[in-house]
Amino acid sequence: GYDSQVDFLLETNDHLILVESKGIEATKRTKIYPTDEIMSSEYKKRVIKGLAQADYVNKKFLNGKREKTSYILIVTYKVNSSQAL
């Protein structure tokens, strides 16, 4: 499923770079009370999901071998409800 893949996977001889992008859709709560705490909470949820996905792919890809150094890059962006697919 989608939870077991990342958007991009780049491999070199020594490194594995996993890139996952996460859209942050504005909710009623964030539109009405866009405080730092509320916005931070929304971003944390998506970033944690992205990290979990990348970690899963990393473990499956390396299959228990630690021959490469892995890096995870999470890219977040704001999605307007009217623009969401």
Q: pTM to 2 decimals? A: 0.73
- For residue 16, give every residue at least 6 positions away whose Cβ sits within 8 Å of its Cβ, in sequence order, or none: 9, 10, 58, 61, 62, 68, 69, 70, 71
Mean pLDDT (the chain) is 82
Reported as a single tens digit per residue, the pLDDT across 48-75 is 989 999 999 998 888 877 788 999 999 9
Q: What is the predicted pLDDT for the residue at 2?
A: 59
Instruction: Check pLDDT > 50 for residue 17.
Output: yes
Instruction: Check pLDDT > 60 for residue 85.
Output: no
